[in-house]
Amino acid sequence: METWEALPEDIFVVSYAKAGMIPETYEIVDKMKSPRTIKSHLSGHLLPPDVFKKKARIVYVARNPKDMCVSYYYFHIMVPNLPTPKSRNEFFEDFFAGKITYGPWWEHYLFYWNLRHESNVLFVKFEEMKKDLKSVVEDVAKFLIYTLFDDVINGIVDHCSFASMQKNPMTNPDTILKTVRMPQDQRKKDLDSKDGVTVEEPKQEKSPFMRKGKVGDWRNHFTVAQNEAFDVFMQEKLAGSGLVFEY
């Protein structure tokens, strides 16, 4: 990672959680034709230093941490090689404290947020895309120095809608995820033996890869006490940064 060479024309699409650049990924990326579009969920300090040295373009997507917490909880239920939450409350507590796979969410956000004024970094919020996807597409095109006609922009907007992506096997790998799950009997045995506690067997059907794609779904999951505690915690971690989330 330290010696991996980036190209000035590389485009990184970065967000928290769900996937990242693993060793095998570098081999694939090295074979890609330029300009390369690379998706990653790594925090800034874990990206190859050459990415920043060469000023490769970075589009960072952030989401209200409350909704991200809920989405990540269901993702842990779905994916077999991630720790299975014993309870939703326990997972929420770990998420608040940053004790999950990709570490503290606020550090991940703030690293890129603090670079938002750099010419090679565009910071976008999920909520902005849900509110006005066309405007965000236009902003991204401008950032990447692309001139697009309205019909092309409208086509991108339609292609990137949640409904369209949910039907697209290139963006919704539910079929693939079903095939990589370990046999049900072995999976259940492993869960039952974990710390002597019987855990409900998670089934992929209960939590699809693309679940809802909505803003504010956290309201259906957080208790009043959890919401109040998280607000205090979030204000503390983001204090003075100017980064705020609505909804």
CA distance linking residue 222 with residue 183, whole number of Å: 33
In whole angstroms, give the CA distance from residue 20 to residue 202.
23
Give catalytic residues, as residue numbers.
41
Rg (CA), the chain: 19
Burial class (CB in 10 A: 0-12, 13-18, 19+), 208: middle
Using an 8 Å Cβ cutoff, are 217 and 70 in contact?
yes
DSSP assignment letter at 166: H
57-62 β-sheet, strand order: 37-40, 11-15, 57-62, 121-125
23 residue type, one letter:
P
**C-alpha pair distances (Å), 115 with each of 31, 122, 181:** 29, 9, 39
**Strand, helix or coil for residue 123:** strand
